């Protein structure tokens, strides 16, 4: 049930349906989870600066139940940073990324929590 949230000062027009579907496919692949559980949430047109300038920048949060960790996060970051640079033109020195490992009891779905759905 990964959620990738991107806040950026890029205009809405730059975040095309192809960018969203590309993000979803990539997150599904790097976390090895079916894409039907993946959610992308991009917030364009944000009032943001990074390093004192308003050049294109972003903050990215990847939240997931598991599939995160010290070594995994390095691999995830490399692929996500590369995607953001290639498809949105945000260089890796203009973005921070935060990883959040969620507990099954703190994420709801289908009227219950993943704790109940997973049995743990």
Residues with catalytic annotation?
2
| 3-class DSSP assignment, residue 56 | coil
Write b or e for each residue in 95-104: b if 16 or more Cβ atoms lie within 10 A of its Cβ, otherwise e: bebebeebeb
CA atoms within 13 A on the CB side of 32: 5
Q: From CA 115, how far away is CA 63, in angstroms rounded?
A: 16
Going by the DSSP 8-state scheme, the letter that residue 35 receives in this structure is G
Note whether 46 and 6 are within 8 A (CB): no
């Amino acid at each position: 049930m990964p959620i990738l949230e991107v806040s950026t000062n890029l205009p809405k027009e730059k975040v095309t349906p192809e960018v969203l579907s590309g993000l979803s496919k990539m997150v599904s692949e790097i976390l090895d989870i079916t894409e039907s559980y993946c959610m992308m949430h991009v917030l364009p047109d944000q009032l943001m600066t990074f390093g004192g300038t308003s050049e294109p920048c972003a903050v990215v949060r990847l939240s997931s139940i598991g599939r995160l960790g010290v070594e995994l996060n390095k691999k995830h970051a490399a692929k996500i940073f590369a995607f953001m640079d290639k498809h949105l033109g945000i260089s890796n020195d203009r973005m921070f990324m935060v990883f959040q490992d969620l507990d099954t009891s703190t994420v709801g779905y289908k009227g219950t929590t993943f704790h109940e759905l997973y049995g743990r």
